[in-house]
Amino acid sequence: MKNSINRKDFMSSLIELKNKGELTLDEVAAQSLVFFVAGFETSSANQTYCLYELARNAECQEKARESVLKAIETHGGLTYEAVNDMQYLDQCINETLRLYPAVPVLERKSSQSYKIPDTDVTIPSGMKIHIPVFAIHRDEQLYTDPQKFNPDRFLPEEAAKRHPNSFLTFGDGPRACIGFRFAILQSKVGLATVLSKFRITPEAAKQLLDNFLRADAPRLFPLFPLLRDGRRNEVTQIATHHPTPLQVGPIIVHLEQTGPVIVLVATTPIPL
């Protein structure tokens, strides 16, 4: 490092590997991009969608808040142990990832020829395979009433009844997402922080778009944090419209009475 300060973080490790000649500058840049896109944007979108669904489903939101507050009280704060003790919040996150997977299609390449059982279809070696995660997650043969937000689908006893590959948000096998535990952890911390302080309601509930993958990003929805005692804060809401799902759409809600600013960001469209 130029100033001889060595932090024990991801970027410092990459720079150290580059200086030792183990990584090129292009490889460092590529890894940094993946870290920010896969390690930040996906979890940010997941938290935004989860708050959206909890805003539309008040009963689920209250159960999630109860789970959060009970864990915080039991463990004396928002500790690692408390976060791991929020079972219902886990279920809400998984149900959100089912409805809005960060990667709607997985791509693989067959390493050898494979005949699909009970069919005449053979996948030749070297063929590219697209696995439709979004479609699998909304298949009514796997999930009853698949368009409905229902965290109870992910009760341990309910999840055990389904095939493991009916939920492919993080992929599966040796090439599954290497950072899935970190993704879940940071999503839980973010959601627990919001839910422990506020109730979230949408300004108006509108019909979900039929097609999640529309090229023209729909309008963003405003979320209004409320004090837990029910007194509504006056807020300043800034929402920008972007033409494509790949552009970041922020919603900034400023709580004029209490001061803090909550920024919810999603790279994918938020349907209304």
Binding site listing for heme? 177
Local structure of residue 257 (DSSP, 8 states):
T
CA distances from 40 to 93, 111, 134, 158, 235 (A): 16, 31, 21, 30, 26
Task: Specify whether the CB–CB gap between 34 and 14 falls below 8 A.
Answer: no
DSSP 207-243: PPPS-TT-SSPPPP--EEEEETTSPBPPEEEEE---S
- What's the start-to-end Cα distance of the chain, in Å? 48
Task: Please state whether 149 falls in left (phi above 0), alpha (psi between -120 and 50) or beta.
Answer: beta
Residue type, 84: N
Query: Which residues are known binding-site members?
Result: 177
